[in-house]
Structure 1
Amino acid sequence: MPNPLPPTGPQRTLALAQLSNSVGDGAYYVTSALYFTHVVGIGPARIGLGLTVAWAVGSFVGVPLGRIADRRGPRGTAVLLALATAVAVASFLVVRDFALFLAAACLYATAQSGLAAARQALLAGVVAKEERTGALAHLQSTLNAGLAVGAALGGIALSAGTTAAYLAVFGVDAASFLLCALVLLRLPPVPAVTGDRSVKLAVLRDRPYAVVTLLNTVLLLRMPLLSLGLPLWITERTEAPEWVVSALFVLNTGAVMLFQVRTARSVNSIPTAARALRRSGALMALTCTVFAMSAADSPWVAVTALAGGSVLLVAAEMLHSAGSWQLSFDLAPAGRTGEYQGFFGTGVTVARTLGPLLLTALLVGSGTAGWLLLGGTVLAASYALGPAARWAAGVRAATVPAPAVARGAWAGARAAPRDGVEG
């Protein structure tokens, strides 16, 4: 099995930054809804509305913030956005009505969307091209490990059930982003990019990349499946006990921690990424078929089908992650990584926003037919990604050479790492 730790140097520093804030996020995810409903007194419907509006705002600002990372330097931008996220989380401590909640949620979603784009641009600057997918696999494993630890801490707060316990969780999450900012400062600075500034937000005019992003968004519908679709399906349509929901979450998280790096090793080019995505789509179609079988009257049949489907689901997830990471970087022009990553990341926001509505209608409303329709749609999108990626790559090959960097080549920056971090 591959080394679970990323190589020393920038990759390990990025992983430490990921670990620091994912622990806080894990605690936040499992406690925030109950805090806002039970302590603050905001109704569930208004919380859902506020979060939908906030992430919609975040999806719009991700591209311009990614562009700022390209123009001003991704390390400094990432540090500032990590600090902004810490401020947003800390502001939840004083939220006492819906208006303040909406403002804080919009700040949180904006900072998180921009931070994701800036971090991708930062990774592109400190990690060699052929190592990026592997580095992202390590980061994904680290993310899952941190979320698991954070979820356990959040569980302790839920068990206590006191206002002080909830507030402690938000304090820990805010502190985790402060620590993330400090860790990111250990990375060497990545030169800002100069070049033709006449084309603003060129990604919005890049139709091939937009098609790839749209098709990838269809595959991202798997994201709310584990957190919402399956729990509703299990409780409403199967005879399986409710504890199966948490067991499937543990299975998914543990598998990604252990096998994401190994899965990503075979993905190192656009053709291998397209192949991984086709395999992911085929596995998702099979996953949906197996999950549909869990509607049987027997609890044992239901549990067996759910366990088998979950194994297929996590395999599809890991292949999709590796393939989409490769495409998102390889199809972005040099000098616009942050901008393009900000746009590609809108697929995650759309899946989080619209996915719950679609999955609820498909699975709870239509049952077995809904599962089959979902599987068929994902399969078709996965097979369409190959031609779309070739189209985008062909257009990219015909464009002008990459813009110059502002402060010398990256090779020079790597020759003089800061704070003892090797390049």
Structure 2
Amino acid sequence: MPVSRIIPPGGAPRRLALAQLANSVGDGAYYVCSALYFSRVVGLSPTAIGAALTLGWALGAVAGVPLGHLADRRGPRGIAILMSLVTGAAVASFLFVRAYPAFLVAVCVYACAQCGLAAARQALLAGLVEPARRTETRAHLQSTVNAGLALGAALGGVALQLDTEAAYLAALAVDALSFVVAAGMLYRLPAPEGTPAGERPPGVGRLTVLRDRPYAVVALLNTVMLLYMPLLSVALPLWIVRRTEAPGWTVSALLVVNTVSVVLFQVRIASRVSGLDSASRSVRHAGYVLLLACLVFACSSLGASAWAAAVLLLAAAVIQVLGEMLLGSGSWEIGFALAPPDRQGQYQGFYGAGTAVARLVGPLLLTALILSWGFSGWLVLGGLFLAAGTAMGPAVRRAAARRDESPAVRGTGPRPAPGSGVEPTTG
């Protein structure tokens, strides 16, 4: 496979990718080690950890919009650097906190800064990369993130194997340092040019996205599709262990299939998306594919053979990651194209809140649905994917029409040039 399919072109895209690579390496180590560190070293119960994470991500989902708005007003590069440093400081504080109130505050700061960083980084990408290349660049970043997570997870695995306080502290220190390194890389990027968000037409409020109902519908449908995230990290491991005869190594194998596939093929799939029409079609196809994946996952519980179950699970994982990549390719284009040019920060903060919401409600919803209902639960989940994917096209057309008709939504920034890949959908 050509290297260009994985490594983004030089300039701003490559520097953005390097910054996210640094973040993701640290995050990979953090995700693998944090739960055991908080329970074994800090001495917290699983219930206390879960409650803190739930509160933190709930606040993060809310904080993304105002922090994105701040990026619009003050510049996305500066806010991205600030949020990266705040995230690093929050992770560093985990090395020292031993009391639950301090831990709760640190988790909330961490989650809010992460959501603010995501919004500012998306706004920075939109400001530095021309519209026709944004989805491709975002695909490069996603490939980079998966590669970094895999490397970081390997480092975290070493800490798990050693199972000592020093090893866990080292893994978290790597994560904290990674955000400082990322901030330095973001500092080397130029500040985007464009109309300041403070120059608004008369009657246009500050947080326009909160009154943009068509965009909210699009974001809600995207959130439903993002339920594949807790499916992979929470529901599937429990399903494999409790409801199938597959060997334990299948859980790791599915994660490897997912990570490697995104690294190798995400950019290729994203190259087929060039505007709202093709983006809506990609999300619709993702709904079909994710429904099929749910059906195959459900079938993995029907047989008594461990190897048959493992083969079905691996086949379903291949189908699922195809749906994931189709969704990402279409979703990124939609999120960028429907946002006013001078308000990308607040719109990306709102759109990106779907990730926090999926992580917040997804584990409980999916485990109850799949583990309690079994085969029929998978059918319900697949139906949700199909319904959301099918509804995305009409929702995008309505949001695009409102964007073109309303000055408050259209924004004060320059309109995309014809042929740029962000034309309104027709028909």
Instruction: Give the TM-score category using the shorter length.
Output: over 0.9
Corresponding residue for 2:412?
A: 403
Q: Which amino acid aligns with 2:120?
A: A
* Correspondence 1:233 to 2:239: yes
Corresponding residue for 2:420?
A: none
Q: Which of 367, 391, 399 does residue 384 from structure 1 map onto?
A: 391
**What fraction of aligned residue pairs are identical, expressed as a percent?**
57
Q: How does 1:144-293 map to 2 (within 5 A)?
A: 144-191=146-193, 192-196=196-200, 198-293=204-299
Aligned equivalents of 2:82, 2:25: Cα separation in 1? 20
Q: Which shows bigger deviation, 256-265 or 395-404? A: 395-404
- 1:16-41: CA deviations, max 9, x gaps? 00001110110000000000001111
Secondary structure, counterpart of 1:336 in structure 2: helix
Q: How does 1:6-155 map to 2 (within 5 A)?
A: 6-155=8-157
C-alpha displacement at 1:137, in angstroms?
0.4
Q: Which amino acid aligns with 1:73?
A: G
The answer for unaligned runs of 5 or more in structure 1 is: 410-423
C-alpha displacement at 1:334, in angstroms?
1.6
Q: Is the 8 A contact 1:194 1:404 kept in 2?
A: no
- 1:113-150: CA deviations, max 9, x gaps? 00000000000011010000000000000000000000
C-alpha displacement at 1:195, in angstroms?
1.6
Aligned equivalents of 1:23, 1:342: Cα separation in 2? 23
Aligned equivalents of 1:256, 1:329: Cα separation in 2? 21
C-alpha displacement at 1:190, in angstroms?
1.7
Q: Which shows bigger deviation, 395-404 or 221-230? A: 395-404
Corresponding residue for 1:313?
A: 320
C-alpha displacement at 1:268, in angstroms?
1.3
What TM-score, normalized to structure 1? 0.94
Aligned equivalents of 2:342, 2:75: Cα separation in 1? 11
Corresponding residue for 2:425?
A: none
C-alpha displacement at 1:193, in angstroms?
3.0
C-alpha displacement at 1:404, in angstroms?
5.0
* Correspondence 1:362 to 2:369: yes
Aligned equivalents of 2:314, 2:88: Cα separation in 1? 37
Q: Which amino acid aligns with 1:310?
A: A
Aligned equivalents of 1:123, 1:399: Cα separation in 2? 25
Aligned equivalents of 2:88, 2:44: Cα separation in 1? 22
Aligned equivalents of 1:36, 1:292: Cα separation in 2? 34
The answer for unaligned runs of 5 or more in structure 2 is: 416-427
Q: Which amino acid aligns with 2:392?
A: L
C-alpha displacement at 1:300, in angstroms?
2.0
Runs of at least 4 residues off by over 2 Å: 191-194, 399-402
Secondary structure, counterpart of 1:111 in structure 2: helix
- 1:282-316: CA deviations, max 9, x gaps? 00110000111100222122111101100000000
Q: How does 1:317-336 map to 2 (within 5 A)?
A: 317-336=324-343
Q: Is the 8 A contact 2:119 2:352 kept in 1?
A: yes
Q: How many residues align?
A: 407
Q: Is the 8 A contact 1:195 1:404 kept in 2?
A: no
Aligned equivalents of 2:150, 2:393: Cα separation in 1? 34
Q: Which shows bigger deviation, 102-111 or 196-205? A: 196-205
Q: Which amino acid aligns with 2:155?
A: L
Q: Which amino acid aligns with 1:331?
A: L
C-alpha displacement at 1:402, in angstroms?
3.5
Secondary structure, counterpart of 2:95 in structure 1: helix
Corresponding residue for 1:352?
A: 359
- 1:217-268: CA deviations, max 9, x gaps? 1100000111111100000100001110001101100000000000100011
Q: Which amino acid aligns with 2:111?
A: A
Aligned equivalents of 1:363, 1:224: Cα separation in 2? 12
Aligned equivalents of 1:261, 1:11: Cα separation in 2? 13
Aligned equivalents of 1:35, 1:292: Cα separation in 2? 34
